[in-house]
Structure 1
């Protein structure tokens, strides 16, 4: 019972933090604001989350997991290569941030803060392993992990400067997927071209409205959360 109450309070705190950051931006949200929104004292909030960085980290982890689950459900995705799957995932992150100012605040923070950027990289690698995405690929675990770390940093930088370079979500997904395939997985140009086209086929079949709804409700009662 105590654990259930503990997780329920964490759900409330995370949900309120997520909404406050979407509305106001990271720098304009304090622990005091989060505590007041959650109907608890700041000291009680800090017994769960001593620092804002831990809150942000948990929000990013839940966002990542929710996105991964949604992408896994895209039509046709099981028929295409893991690289196409990867392209669809990166595209989904990019397009959500580019079309939702509130989500952009969170995604930008995740891509520009060293701690959350490391989390993105490690969570992406964990996701890849959990769904056995690259089990049949002729590359070592070290190469895959290094490639994912490289791609995460590169995508983060490009995402942050997308307006300067007039980049779309498809551009980001193509650059990241191509870099992983060519530099770390030793793929041939024709294999890369095929994976990018397959990824585009997946994207075009995706129901982005459902993805957005899943993000909006990821801290609702009854949803599994990570904390």
Structure 2
């Protein structure tokens, strides 16, 4: 019973933090604001989350997990290569941030803060491992892990500077996927071209409104959360 109560309160705290950050930006949200929004004292909030960084980390983890499950349900995802699958995932992150100012605040923070950036790399590798995305790819675990870390940092920088470089979400996904395939998985140019084309077909068939709704409701009662 106590654990259920704890998870219920964590859900409330995470949901309120998520909404406050979307509305105000990361730097303009304090623990006091989150506590007041959640109807609890700051000291009680800190018994669950001593620091804002832990709150942000849990929000990013839930965002990542929700996005991953949505991408896994895209219509053409089952008939594609793991690289096309990854392109669709990166595109989804990019396009949501570019079209939603509130999500952009969270994604930008995740890509520019060293702690959350490390979490992105770890979670991306865990996602790849858990869904066995690259099991059939002829590259070592260490090389793949290095490639994912490299791609995460590169995507973060490109996402942050996307307006300067006039990049859209698909171009961002193409650069990231192509870099991973060429530099770390040693793919041939024709393999890269095919994966990017297949990835394009996947995202063309994706229902981004459905993805957006899933993000909007990821902390609702009845949804499984990570904390």
Q: TM-score, normalised to structure 1's length?
A: 1.00
Segments of structure 1 that go 5 or more residues without pairing to the other structure are: none
Corresponding residue number in structure 2 for 1:182: 182
Aligned-residue offset at 1:131:
0.3
Q: Once the two structures are superposed, what CA deviation does each residue of 1:83-107 show, in whole Å capped at 9, x if it has no partner?
A: 0000000000000000000000000
Q: Within 5 Å, give how 1:40-55 maps onto structure 2.
A: 40-55=40-55
Q: Within 5 Å, give how 1:100-139 maps onto structure 2.
A: 100-139=100-139
Counterparts of 1:129 and 1:51, CA distance in 2? 29
Q: Within 5 Å, give how 1:1-227 maps onto structure 2.
A: 1-227=1-227
Aligned-residue offset at 1:34:
0.1
Counterparts of 2:219 and 2:69, CA distance in 1? 15
Counterparts of 2:62 and 2:77, CA distance in 1? 22
Counterparts of 1:131 and 1:139, CA distance in 2? 17
Counterparts of 2:77 and 2:15, CA distance in 1? 30
**Number of aligned residues:** 227
Aligned-residue offset at 1:155:
0.2
Segments of structure 2 that go 5 or more residues without pairing to the other structure are: none
CA RMSD across the alignment:
0.3
Counterparts of 1:38 and 1:144, CA distance in 2? 41
Q: Secondary structure at the match of 1:84?
A: helix
Which segments of structure 1 move beyond 6 Å, counting only runs of 4 or more? none
Counterparts of 1:25 and 1:186, CA distance in 2? 40
